[in-house]
Amino acid sequence: MEPTVPITAADETLKGKTMFASLHTSTMTVRRVQSRGIFDRLTARLRLATIAYSQRQHLASLDDHALADIGLTRAQAHHEANRPVWDVPKGWRC
């Protein structure tokens, strides 16, 4: 027999309504709630470093016309491409 859960006033308010969260949002939420070990955190950091390196190498390979399209000069692209892999935006960090 399954245990019964008492219905609260909040449950009654939401009754009949559909709740939606994207897979990305729910994954981010679960990821932040779960306690992760050092291996998981290290793996996540290495993955971010790899992504940052790949994006910066691609940026460095763009021609002047493509750089002008995104509003960067060759010097700005070179400066960004030479940043260390651990220097990623704050929103990326785990």
Q: What residue type is assigned to position 48 of the chain?
A: L
Could you report the per-residue pLDDT of 16-30, keeping only the tens digit for each?
Answer: 555 555 554 555 555
Separation in Å, CA 90 to CA 7, 14, 78, 80: 40, 35, 21, 16
What is the pTM for the complete model shown?
Answer: 0.54
- pLDDT confidence of residue 4: 61
Q: How far apart are CA 59 and CA 72, in angstroms?
A: 10
- pLDDT confidence of residue 89: 78
State the average pLDDT over residues 20-47: 66
Q: What residue type is assigned to position 5 of the chain?
A: V
Q: How far apart are CA 76 and CA 71, in angstroms?
A: 10
- pLDDT of 54 > 60? The answer is yes
Separation in Å, CA 31 to CA 9, 13, 27: 29, 28, 6
Q: How confident is the model at residue 58 (pLDDT cuts 50, 70, 90)?
A: very high
